[in-house]
Structure 1
Amino acid sequence: MIIKLNEIINESEIVFDYVEQTMDSLDIPEGIAIKGRAYKEGDQYIVEGSYRAVLRLECVRCLTEIEPLIQEDFKGFYLDPKEYSKYISSLKPEEEFGDNHFEEAVDSEINISNLVREYIILDLSQYETCLPECTDASEVEKYLKDDVDPRWQQLLDIKF
């Protein structure tokens, strides 16, 4: 969903509640339910809300398909292109962004789906696994042995 900045100015607050059916690089069988609001405070535009999605992933241990439920809140701070240029030029080279990091509203538009996608990727575990544990641990047990893999045995015989 895209919100134009002039819509927020004219209406003081925009409330949204929709389901995003597809999102780049994410397998979401039921879509992502996104609810929230967008409003202007001073010269910044704030988008906040929550999302809920079931993702289709693969367990990194047993390689079975899992579908974890992911739900969290999100918040983004935006500036129109002119204000964003001023903001960037006001930062010193070594200065960090601080508590409020502003994004540019490219073409005076805010893409809520991109903001939510970033939050989902950050909220995902680096290694998604079955919870509480894998039901078929045969693949995992195969590699738990302390023996040396026979394919690597010849490397151990090399003398320096």
Structure 2
Amino acid sequence: MQPGDLPQVLTVQALAYADLMLESEATLASRLALSPQTCWVAMDAGTAGPTEAAIAGYLFTHPWRLAAPPPLDTVLDALPDTPDCWYVHDMALAPRTRGAGVAGQLYAAALSAAQSLGLRASALVAVQQSQGFWARFGYRATADVSPQIAAKLAGYGDGAVFMTREL
């Protein structure tokens, strides 16, 4: 992903989430700036070049602390000095690409980058009943979360679930 991709990323975000979970360009740009090697876009097949290409989906991830997921729609100023997990912040696909394997390709590319950083665990907050989707990538719901994590989950909407996996 490149900074110039963000306008199209915001379009995909709006298509995927409607008005329910939209995050600001500043929030997403902060993650890209802090960890460009773990943020990815998928381009529509058959597009000719960067000026004509359409973004089919995106994945924002970054090193973080397992016990402290960042609140939704929060600009990050820095990564932790001692990250202990790969945090999967957001993946969204344009409706036209669902079922085409785009999610798996994005995840595989980012996972390879995360593993090269030496991180041994991953975490995410599953929203909009997406736990089954993330379970296919090896994530499991954390049944007993700390009060700090529970408070952050409340900001992600009803039914948000903290999930983790080993890498």
What is the TM-score normalised by the length of structure 2? 0.26
Could you say which structure has the higher strand fraction? Answer: 1
Could you say which structure has the higher helix fraction? Answer: 2
Larger Rg: 1
